[in-house]
Structure 1
Amino acid sequence: MTLTKCHRPVRRLALLSVAAALLFALPAPPLMVHAQNAAQAAPQVSSPPQNAPGSQAITAPASDPQQPRSLTAKAIDKVKQVAKSASDIFNRVPCLPPKGVAKKSFISLPHVASKLAEGKPVVIIAFGSSSTQGWGSSAPEYTYPNRLAAQLHRQYPAAQISVINAGIGGEDAPEMAKRLQSSVIDQHPDLVIWQVGTNAVLRGLDPTETAKLVDDGVSKMQAAGADVVLVDLQYSPRVIERPESASRMIKALSRIAELHHVGIFPRFEVMRDWHERQDIPINDFVIADGLHMNDWGYACFAQLLGDDIIRSVGAVKIGVNTPPDVPSYRRM
């Protein structure tokens, strides 16, 4: 899996350019970053605990010549602050590509690639539980869907891309299956990133039953015209203390990806590499609850996932495709 180093000076410049645009009252890029709370799309699902980070929209504030200059200055300061934080987090702990992972990877995203090539709006839905919603992050802009949206904006500044956060803490495949239509299908996505399986392991659910629900869900997403990327478990203390169940779940998700020729981001292996091969202490990327990622963990996860998405779109644009009998995400 080819994963590139995340800390690049050009990203700092890209974000600071937004501040300059605000200063000179130029129009903001047409990116739409929607971090819509999935509970709003599916009111029948219980809301997460009050202390869980909520998901919300993140957009660069537009400059209005009628507003007092002090408000514009504050907006510029906020953009600079976010830009500084986005890069400084990797100065503290660099986000490096996993060692020992194959350098060729492929996530097949024909729908996303064709929409971008034609200049049409792209809708991406991050579907999942608490690590999609963003538990453990210090602010909504540091959840992985918002980090991913910012990265795609930098890569495709003229594109109209919507990233919808449809994560609800505590859920797994049974609950997600009930809201699949309202939270995903009805939004007409071009890409669904489905993070699933961790809560099933923690709750002692049968991986076989979970796999059936995921398999059915992927079929429905594909029938609706969406590209799909599955995201497997996180490597964290509460998960690795259940090695047999975790291993079965990871293998089940991999088999589903292979069967349907969809992508799978091997989050468990990527995070394990951080700890075992890059010698990063677990508490440098997992919060005190032993389960959820912190700001650095979400940032590095989003960066590596975004790198794969961008690389795949580029490959599709130049006519590269995967054979029908090969999994669309080639790794290790």
Structure 2
Amino acid sequence: MIRRVGPWMIALALACLTPGTLAAQPAAPAASAVRACPAPDRYLTPKVPLRRAAEAVRKGKRLRVLVFAAVRMPAITETVEAKRYPASLAAALSQRLPGVDVTVTTRMEPRAGAGESLPLLNAALSAPVAPSGYDLVIWQLGSTDVLKGTDMSAFGTKLSSGVQAIHARQADAIVITMQYSPRTDFMFDAGPYLQALRWTVKSEGAALFNRYDIMRYWAEEGTFDLSDLQPGASMFEDVHRCVGDLLARFITNGMAAPETQ
């Protein structure tokens, strides 16, 4: 059952669920060591091989990635953009793939649910960073649909269409689940949307990077205090760095699957 909530609760959830809010907080003192990014192995290997990405690296020594995501704020400054997970992903992939020309293009759309995202995704796929197109497309969605209470049937249909559009461009597809926040988990039932993401992604032969469960694991293990009412910029950076690092592991594991060799 989808829980219906008032506008004030949606505003609160937007502040809690989206990392742009964290970036606006005063920076905490620098940590003496880089925080580790633990996650169970089950979250770090896709259930489908990333064949196109593996082929691009093997034959062309290059990897073209598009990260397509919804964000809370109408605009993202360059300073904030440099600290979000796509930047960490680019650095981590370059480190894991020495000698490979890695390009990560980011397209952020404000407050876009699955329905609003679909035509924008198609437009982004039609204007790739290189004539050869993208080898891998990462689609982040779910939070806006949870907050709006998007009809589940429409959500699944749009998700299927988006993954099919990615595959039609001869690119591998990774779908990223929404963020987890213990401060809003009691207000919004993400369960049906997570289930729809899992089922649809599996049906369409895409990979699912389960950011929601990874962040919940961090909260339960005390890796990050995601219940902090005034999280600082350092947490924003650490969380995004960890997401980028783990996503890079997820991608390279998918490229190394026996089916890609």
Same fold flag (TM > 0.5): yes
User: Are the structure 2 counterparts of residues 137 and 279 from structure 1 closer, same or farther at C-alpha, using a change threshold of 3 Å?
Assistant: farther
Aligned residue in 2 for 1:119: 60
Looking at structure 2, the residues matched to 278 and 103 of structure 1 have their Cα atoms a distance apart, in angstroms, of 18
**Greater Cα offset, 102-111 or 279-288:** 279-288
User: Are the structure 2 counterparts of residues 186 and 212 from structure 1 closer, same or farther at C-alpha, using a change threshold of 3 Å?
Assistant: same
- SS at 1:230 equivalent: strand
> Is residue 102 of structure 1 aligned with residue 47 of structure 2?
no
Q: 2:253 aligns with which of 304, 311, 325?
A: 311
Q: 1:108 offset after TM fit, Å?
A: 1.8
Consecutive unaligned residues in structure 1, runs of 5 or more: 1-51, 54-87, 320-332
Q: 1:154 aligns with which of 85, 90, 95?
A: 95
Aligned residue in 1 for 2:12: none
Looking at structure 2, the residues matched to 143 and 132 of structure 1 have their Cα atoms a distance apart, in angstroms, of 13
Percent identity, aligned pairs only?
A: 24
C-alpha contact 1:109 1:316 (8 A) present in aligned 2: no
Aligned residue in 2 for 1:253: 197
Aligned residue in 1 for 2:33: 91
Looking at structure 2, the residues matched to 205 and 318 of structure 1 have their Cα atoms a distance apart, in angstroms, of 36
Aligned residue in 2 for 1:297: 239
Looking at structure 2, the residues matched to 141 and 90 of structure 1 have their Cα atoms a distance apart, in angstroms, of 21
| TM-score, length-scaled by structure 1 | 0.61
Q: 1:222 offset after TM fit, Å?
A: 0.6
Aligned residue in 2 for 1:212: 157
The structure richer in strand per residue is: 2
Looking at structure 1, the residues matched to 192 and 62 of structure 2 have their Cα atoms a distance apart, in angstroms, of 38
Looking at structure 2, the residues matched to 286 and 134 of structure 1 have their Cα atoms a distance apart, in angstroms, of 22
Q: 1:180 offset after TM fit, Å?
A: 2.0
Looking at structure 1, the residues matched to 228 and 258 of structure 2 have their Cα atoms a distance apart, in angstroms, of 36
Looking at structure 2, the residues matched to 216 and 193 of structure 1 have their Cα atoms a distance apart, in angstroms, of 15
Aligned residue in 2 for 1:130: 71
| Aligned residues between the structures | 227
Consecutive unaligned residues in structure 2, runs of 5 or more: 1-19, 22-29
| TM-score, length-scaled by structure 2 | 0.76
**Greater relative contact order, per chain length (Cα 8 Å cut-off, separation 6+):** 2
Q: 2:106 aligns with which of 165, 182, 185?
A: 165
Q: 1:277 offset after TM fit, Å?
A: 2.6
User: Are the structure 2 counterparts of residues 242 and 184 from structure 1 closer, same or farther at C-alpha, using a change threshold of 3 Å?
Assistant: farther
Deviation by residue 1:77-105 (Cα, 9 ceiling, x = unmatched): xxxxxxxxxxx76926422224xx53873
Aligned residue in 2 for 1:200: 145
- SS at 1:139 equivalent: helix
Q: 1:207 offset after TM fit, Å?
A: 2.6
Aligned residue in 2 for 1:226: 171
User: Are the structure 2 counterparts of residues 176 and 240 from structure 1 closer, same or farther at C-alpha, using a change threshold of 3 Å?
Assistant: same
Q: 1:169 offset after TM fit, Å?
A: 2.5
